[in-house]
Amino acid sequence: MQDKFKQLRTYLGEVMDLAATAELLGWDQQTYMPPGSNEGRSMQLATLSRLTHEKFTSDELGSALEDLKSIVEELDPNSDDARLIAQVSKEFDKQRKVPNEYVAEFARITALTHQTWEKARQESDFSIFRADLEKIIAMRQEYANFFQPYDHIYDPLLDDFEAGMKTADVKKVFADLRPRQVALVNAIAESSYQVDDSVLHQEFDESTQWAFGEEVIKAFGYDFNRGRQDKSVHPFTSSFGNDDVRITTRVAPNYFNTALFGTLHEAGHGMYEQGIGKQLARTPISHGASFGFHESQSRMWENLVGRGKPFWIAFFPRLQEYFPEALRDVNLDDFYRAINKVERSLIRVEADETTYNLHIMVRFELEIALMTGELSAVNLPEAWNQKYEDYLGITPPDDAQGVLQDIHWSFGGFGYFSTYSLGNLISSMLWEVIQGDLPDLQSQFEKAEFGGLLEWLRANIYVHGAKYEPMELLKMVTGSALDADPYMRYLEAKFGEIYKL
């Protein structure tokens, strides 16, 4: 038995090495690769993606899994070995339905379309990206059809990011959240007390912003010995193994929130990957439980910690030292309210916590319409603008602040967006448990001590990687199924205080 497991782990390690190499090339493409190298890079990614898929869906792996099935039945069902076999077998069966040729072509196309998206966004011209987006939509529809019969064409896409979740499940969550969040946003808008955030819209030196952000995430526990931060058009995190997890951010010289909260968000992803159990290294379960769980961590460190008053009790004096002229005469309470200002805004990644999910609902509904064919790419900018008018009462003035603002469609990430909202819900559910287990948590933050939180997360979430199904892990840790109530309790308490509701 030990020999068979050892052979399997060796084989899977080679699969993961190929996947990590492709991931590294993708990271380089968005950070340091010369723009003229894109055609060659697309072929390299196509080759690596095909080889990875061929190796993972091979008859050799299928035979090895079959040989181990009877042995696994004798193991503790929650052991690492049993869970590894179960999760790999499930993914093997799924990926066998996808042709190698499709995988290679999809990797090639999305490598090319990323650069087209960057150009279109820079020039604020959707027409530059439209033809490439049409190719991606067609390929995602083709992909979904590999998994017929399905309840909804969007289900296979969603399952890639949130295993076991159905389109109907997300619709139900959003139907519950939408009226409650709209009511809160309206109550804030009607409040006689409003927040002035002009302090955030000043000249902030880019290198100084960068230095402050890195100081904060070092304090959080992001390990720069096993990671680094670079600039990109859109912030992202890449893991090439749990000892090499890299993050990126972007910097706005005249708006403070962009760089810092982008850094905190990506550091949340990074610390999750760095905290996965060493025993799972170089296996297909050596990553987060799901994208929803991953977003729960990025949103937790960005918002529940980084936008909280206790955090700023510790770090606002340091920030004033970094920016003495801009912040010398600003008091802590005014700054805290400024970074939490509620505003119907255009840009998702800079949206406040109360309106954020509305941005996600727009994208979720548009993605479904594109996949079902109810909406064509040529009409997407108009549909986007109408959704923003319907949900937030504002209309984007151009494509860069509208339909082109997100990177996800350029890499074919249909099914991804809803996991941000799922992450908001999961983070608040975890937060209530954490505060019960660590009753002095907020006082720790006031002293810039984050080790207690990080150790709790490592012990209860990170160490498991993708050993458990996401909703199974959530139930294990919180004792509850997915629930929007903790999230709404958090929002209503925090913003009720800020806006004197």
Q: Which two tokens stand for residue 120?
A: 């279109």
Residue 262 CA to residue 247 CA, distance in Å, equals 10
Please tell me the predicted confidence (pLDDT) of residue 20.
98
DSSP strand pairing (245-249 vs 237-239): antiparallel
Residue 282 pLDDT class (50, 70, 90 cuts): very high
Residue range 134-140: mean pLDDT, rounded: 98
Tens digit of each residue's pLDDT (9 = 90 or more) over 153-180: 999 999 999 999 999 999 999 999 999 9
Model confidence, pTM: 0.96
* Residue bearing tokens 């840009």: 347
CA distances from 196 to 201, 223, 298, 339, 393 (A): 11, 35, 26, 10, 20
CA-based nearest residue to 159, from 315, 345, 23, 292: 292
Residue 111: pLDDT over 80:
yes
Residue 299 CA to residue 53 CA, distance in Å, equals 32
Please tell me the predicted confidence (pLDDT) of residue 69.
85
Residue range 106-129: mean pLDDT, rounded: 96
Residue 443 pLDDT class (50, 70, 90 cuts): very high
Residue 3 pLDDT class (50, 70, 90 cuts): confident
Tens digit of each residue's pLDDT (9 = 90 or more) over 475-501: 999 999 999 999 999 999 999 999 999
Please tell me the predicted confidence (pLDDT) of residue 296.
98
Backbone angles phi, psi at 19, to 5 degrees: -65, -40
Q: Which of 23, 118, 266, 367 is catalytic?
A: 266
Residue 182 pLDDT class (50, 70, 90 cuts): very high
Please tell me the predicted confidence (pLDDT) of residue 176.
94
Please tell me the predicted confidence (pLDDT) of residue 207.
98
Tens digit of each residue's pLDDT (9 = 90 or more) over 353-369: 999 999 999 999 999 99
Please tell me the predicted confidence (pLDDT) of residue 268.
98
Residue range 243-257: mean pLDDT, rounded: 97
Q: By percentage, how much of the chain surpasses pLDDT 70?
A: 100
Residue range 75-94: mean pLDDT, rounded: 94
CA-based nearest residue to 267, from 235, 308, 290: 235
Residue 2 pLDDT class (50, 70, 90 cuts): confident
Residue 71 pLDDT class (50, 70, 90 cuts): confident
Residue range 259-269: mean pLDDT, rounded: 98
Please tell me the predicted confidence (pLDDT) of residue 1.
73
Residue range 303-322: mean pLDDT, rounded: 98
Secondary structure (DSSP) of 415-436: T-THHHHHHHHHHHHHHHHHHH
Residue 74 pLDDT class (50, 70, 90 cuts): confident
Annotated active-site residue 455? The verdict is no
